[in-house]
Amino acid sequence: MTDLHWMTASAAAQAIAAKELSPVELMTALLSRIERLDPKLNAFLHLDATAAMDAARSAEAEAMAGRLRGPLHGVPVGIKDIMDVAGLPTTCHSKILQDNVATADAVCVSKLRGAGAIVLGKLSTHEFAIGGPSFDLPWPPARNPWNTNHHPGGSSSGSGAGVAAGLFAMALGSDTGGSVRNPASCCGIVGIKPTYGLVSRRGVFPLAFTLDHVGPMTRTVADNALMLEVLAGHDPGDPGSAATAHRRYAEGLKGDIRGLRVGFIRHFHEVDMPADPEVTAALEHVARTLQLEGAEIRDIRLPTLVEFGAVNRVILQSEAWAIHAPWLRERPGDYGQLARRRILAGAFFSAEDYVQAQRRRLELIAAVDAALGEVDVLLCASSMDPACRIDSPADVERTYSRQARTPFNVTGHPALAMMAGVSTSGLPLSVQFVGRNFAEATLFQVARAWECAAGTDKKHPPIV
């Protein structure tokens, strides 16, 4: 087999199970690619190559003996470095935790290992999932494989860059204000923020307790669905975990979308936060394509992005301050400038601010629920612009908040971001699909219909 680095997780797992592909062969190809490309991308903070190759040899022996651990047997995965992997540092890309070695796997990591996946190592993130891209930390920020002068999105930056560049087929990210969907948008891959509580966060360093989600990042919709099937499930050790029936998310991927009602939230990118014209054109193309596939497109109105953003900001920064206040009082100089500034803002919100934001949050949840009573799925912008240059603080500051992802951290509804096209400058454009709580299967169905029609799963960055 050639181009093993572009092989999907699903195809690799099937080939390994059929004894047509050796896990060692796959691991060797990926480690070679990582060695060659990661110095340009900085996706890894800690590559655990020896342990990964040992695990590949074990997986090969088990596969040859007909003993498969699960649906991801022998498939490598990258882990965002706010998630614990036993024996490896969990640094959160910060000097504060550079010597913090995990003693046990996070539940999400444990589930992937239980399904047969092999951990490659820990991936770059924005500091504590909020401060980046930063150049004043012990490690450099990750870069976008479509153009390494550009931002890969954050905070799951190494996850997005590594998946898009073919360093691994799947990775874990976290999403508090869009941190799975931002890199998915900037790097042209598929990232889902599942329904709040669907995936355990135990063993994941928190940013904001009531907004945090863990989600899969992959190059294809099918891989994303497969990965979420492994990750989903109630965890009594996570206070936010939801007790819900386990679903098989891949079942509807081959079904058509005829008769499905899709609500297009045009005012997000046309009025609330006018998008780059190429983004607007791409979103209209997605809507027309889904209509040609048999879906019914309706215009839907929600509260404004300003309202969603204000609620998200008060809750996120207040909860982040509650977590970081002791370190910020004792060791402020050990934070990067961006993380320090963003977290310190939470010290100035009052209890009244926080309570009022939570009250308004309930009204926003009701508004999205009402919209999803009229349609099956919502379609809207993810990023309002293609990725900006990573070395321009002014451009990063200007574009970072120009997005429509935070509404669905506020409400907890599942939201998936993926490629909508490629800009004239050669950078990915993106679209977001949003569903009813625990209706990820419908999101995957719509996303797969778009992927098939547009061939987004066949588009890779020009990095060789």
Catalytic center residues: 80, 155, 179
Task: Please give the order of strands across the beta sheet that includes 415-422.
Answer: 44-47, 118-123, 76-80, 170-175, 213-218, 190-193, 415-422, 428-435, 377-380, 261-264, 296-299
Q: Which long-range contacts (CB under 8 A, 24 or more apart) does 10-15 make?
A: 10/220, 10/222, 10/223, 10/226, 12/74, 12/75, 12/169, 13/71, 13/72, 13/73, 13/74, 13/75, 13/116, 13/226
Q: What is the DSSP letter of 334?
A: G
Q: Of 370, 366, 356, 378, whose CA–CA distance to 310 is shortest? A: 356
Q: What is the DSSP letter of 276?
A: P
Tell me the angle at which helices 157-164 and 23-41 cross, rounded to the nearest 10 degrees.
Answer: 120
Q: What is the dihedral of CA 8, 12, 18, 21, to 10 degrees?
A: 130
What are the tokens at 343?
A: 């977290």
Count of CB atoms situated within 10 Å of the CB of 355:
11
Q: What is the dihedral of CA 343, 347, 348, 350, to 10 degrees?
A: 120
Q: How far apart are CA 326 and CA 308, in angstroms?
A: 29
CA 40 from centre of chain: 21
DSSP H helical segments within 232-346, as ranges? 266-267, 277-292, 305-330, 337-344
- Whole-angstrom CA distances from 226 to 115, 250, 345, 369, 440 are 11, 6, 39, 26, 12
Q: How far apart are CA 80 and CA 159, in angstroms?
A: 6
What are the tokens at 154?
A: 């954050």
Q: What is the dihedral of CA 195, 189, 81, 92, to 10 degrees?
A: -80
**What string of DSSP letters covers 31-99?**
HHHHHHHHHHH--EEEE-HHHHHHHHHHHHHHHHTT---STTTT-EEEEETTB--TTSB--TTSGGGTT
